[in-house]
Structure 1
Amino acid sequence: MQTSDSTGASYERRHFIGGSDARTIMGDDAPALLRLWREKRGELQPNDLSGNLLVQLGSCTEPLNRHWYEKNTGQTVTDVQRRIFHPVHRWMAATLDGRIEASGAVFEAKFAQPWCFSEEAAATRHMAQLQHNMWVTAARSAVLSIITGGGKWIEMTIPADPLYQHLLLTAEKKFWRCVETGEPPQLFGIEPPRPQLEAVRMVDMSGSNMWAEFAEIYRRTKDAAAEHEQAKGELKALVPDDAKEACGNGVRAKRSKSGAISFEVIAVA
């Protein structure tokens, strides 16, 4: 799939669905969805975010974010603020924070508040935007680069999800049809996929009481569990091939129609 650029950087956002719009379309905020619909129809002007400190922090830290990513990964980010339109659905576009030159992955820079921050929540929050931009650009993955107010930098790689992208495209088509016809849109109720995050951290769970409780059970039952599995394997081998059921010494083995053998404990006479 090939993509093409817009012919003018000032092309009005109301004439297409962008990545940030995708989050609203796939979200659960009905008033926000209705407002976006009215904006796309030209009935309302977009909110003025010049006084929103968090939005401005995100905007101001984008160059730093990009520099920090390049410095720490050795990768080069290109196509900064490039607007790309889908080659077929011309009402779909992506204004990119950048693309990773070596892989073609979408680069997305974000600023996050430090309290209650989690990588999974951040990935879920931005999933619609990332999948939208990957679909428009035919990218197989996206890099989510986050700087928090607590001075932390987090990098996550999010793979393209064909199933979610299909649902996203369906929802965006319906929304755009509403823009064209004047019919108010309804929430689509599509849950984002669970983020597939690369496991990179080592975590000390010593302070968790629940971890301590189940760790004790695990240590206590580990040898017995291994012995149990070994005994089950030996019992399976002893069941005659033509036996539907075998029992003795308080254990019954049953063979299913598919040939699988299961065991149960029975009372010993």
Structure 2
Amino acid sequence: MNACMRQEFLAARRTGIGGSDIGAILGVSPFKTAVDVYLSKTQPTPMDEPAEYTYWGHAVEPIIAQRFSEEHGIEVIRPDTIMRHPEHEWMVANLDGIIPGERPGVLEIKNVNTFSAKAWGLEGSDEVPLTYVAQVAWYMAVKDYDYAVIAALFGGNEYREFRVERDSELEAILIDAGRTFWFKHVLPRIAPEAKTLSDVASLFKSDDGGAVEADDALFDLCTQLKSAKAQSKSMVSKIELLETKIKACMGKSAMLRYQGQLLATWKTQASQRVDIKAFEQAHPELCQQFRKTSESRTFRLK
């Protein structure tokens, strides 16, 4: 996908709720939050290069789709446009593939790393992460299909398929959640409640210099936070003390064992980094050319 096509694709996605959005709206996505979805619909999307996992996920899609075709002796349809629900135009779907036949189905392709494999079940089952259940359920609703197959490649060398049947009760829940989000948050430009530190950082990037008066509840939250930070600091000190004692006993040894069991390792690892200060002294003009100013907000309890 070239830059122009990607820009058009991102613009189209801002016109509705997609399958990868609904899981975040429901709070079951490990990749993004409802606030992330809100901002992606209401603010211009920067044309940054996709992350490595996103890049490779798209790169291997044709290969996984081809494997599915070979397994079933059919030619998968690869749509190149974003689709919409016939009644709810705010419901959109960007399908990886359509399984042709008298009863067509959704084909969703996933490139799964080894560390995430434990969240998946046996081949042929419907045991997949909740965010993907929500995703394909959304696609089935948009296309009025009765089933979806998730074709997944695990660790780059293990292919598995999972089948998810249409569930009318789940579908109703998703549509209701999507409708509420679209009409109560996106269209009126009212952000959903922040759930993470990343959410509040994204919503409130800079301060206005003013002050807000705390009520009793907010004062209590600050008191609780002070207490939690004090406990955390004490625990960090304890951890550092224990680690210091263990490392001192290990000395130059790379491994620590107890009755044949490996307890810990302390191995030398080489790393490379750019010495920014030395580079700036040697090439001040070049350094100035690539200097970038960024802003962030620092939170301090008083």
* 1:49/1:55 contact within 8 Å kept: no
Seen in structure 2, the aligned counterparts of structure 1 residues 82 and 25 have a Cα distance that, compared at 3 Å, is same
Partners of 1:116 and 1:58 in 2: CA distance: 14
Q: CA deviation at 1:35?
A: 2.4
- Between Structure 1 and Structure 2, the one with more helix by share is 2
Helix, strand or coil for the counterpart of 1:145? strand
Change (3 A) 1:122 1:48: farther
The 1:187–1:86 alpha-carbon spacing in structure 2 relative to 1, beyond 3 Å, is farther
1:184 to 187, 191, 196: 191
Distance 1:146 1:9 in 2: 24
In the superposition, relative to structure 1, how do residues 187 and 140 fare at CA in structure 2: closer, same or farther (>3 Å)?
A: farther
Q: Distance in 2 between matches of 1:140 and 1:187?
A: 35
Letter in 2 for 1:38: L
In the alignment, is the contact (CA less than 8 A) between 1:82 and 1:98 conserved in 2?
A: no
User: How far apart in 2 are the matches of 1:187 and 1:9?
Assistant: 27
Deviation at 1:32, TM superposition (A): 2.3
Contact residue 150 and residue 161 of structure 2 kept, 8 A: yes
CA contact (8 A) 1:142 1:157 kept: yes
**C-alpha displacement of 1:14:** 0.9
Deviations 1:21-75 (A, max 9, x none): 1121122579721122122122x5268352x211111100000000001111213
- Correspondence list, 1:90-105, <5 A: 90-102=89-101, 103-105=103-105
Aligned positions of 1:203-222 closer than 5 A: none
Percent of counterpart pairs with the same letter?
A: 26
Counterpart amino acid of residue 107 in structure 1: L
Q: In the alignment, is residue 84 of structure 1 matched against residue 83 of structure 2?
A: yes
> d(CA) in 2 for partners of 1:47 and 1:154?
33
- What do the CA deviations read for 1:174-216 (whole angstroms, capped 9, x no partner)? 100111112222489xxxxxxxxxxxxxxxxxxxxxxxxxxxx
* Number of equivalent positions: 179
CA distance in structure 2 between the partners assigned to 1:46 and 1:107 by the alignment:
29
Letter of the structure 1 residue corresponding to residue 174 of structure 2: L
Per the TM alignment, residue 9 of structure 1 is displaced from its structure 2 partner at its CA by: 6.6
Closer, same or farther: CA 115–38 of 1 in aligned 2, 3 Å = closer
Q: Do the aligned residues in 1 keep the contact of 2:57 with 2:111 (CA within 8 Å)?
A: yes
Q: Counterparts of 2:39 and 2:11 in 1: how far apart (Å)?
A: 18
Where does residue 114 of structure 1 map in the other structure? 114
Structure 2 distance, partners of 1:27, 1:60, is 28
User: For 1:122, what is the secondary structure of its paired residue?
Assistant: coil
Give, as a single letter, the amino acid of the residue that structure 2 aligns with 1:183.
I
What value does the CA root-mean-square deviation take over the aligned residues?
2.6
Change in 2 beyond 3 A, CA 1:47/1:24: farther
- The aligned runs of 1:1-269 (5 Å cut-off) are 12-28=12-28, 32-42=33-43, 44-45=44-45, 48=48, 50=50, 52-102=51-101, 103-118=103-118, 119-120=120-121, 122-177=128-183, 178-186=185-193
Structure 2 residue runs of 5 or longer lacking an equivalent are 1-7, 122-126, 196-302
Q: 1:29 to 1:133 in 2, by over 3 A?
A: closer
Which residue number corresponds to residue 213 of structure 1? none
C-alpha distance in structure 1 between counterparts of 2:181 and 2:14, whole Å: 13
Q: Quote the Cα distance in structure 2 between the aligned partners of 1:133 and 1:113.
A: 24
Q: Which of 1 and 2 has greater Rg?
A: 1
TM-score (norm 1): 0.60
Q: Secondary structure at the match of 1:107?
A: strand
Q: Is the 8 A contact 1:25 1:187 kept in 2?
A: no
Task: Give the whole-Å Cα distance in 1 for the aligned partners of 2:137 and 2:48.
Answer: 26
Contact 1:110–1:147 (CA under 8 A) maintained in structure 2: yes
TM-score with structure 2 setting the length: 0.54
SS at match of 2:33: helix
Identify, as 1 or 2, the structure richer in strand: 1
Alpha-carbon distance change, 45 to 63 in structure 1, aligned in 2, over 3 angstroms: same
Rounded to whole Å, the distance in 2 between the matches of 1:127 and 1:67 is 23
Shift of 1:80: 2.8
Q: 1:115 to 1:34 in 2, by over 3 A?
A: closer
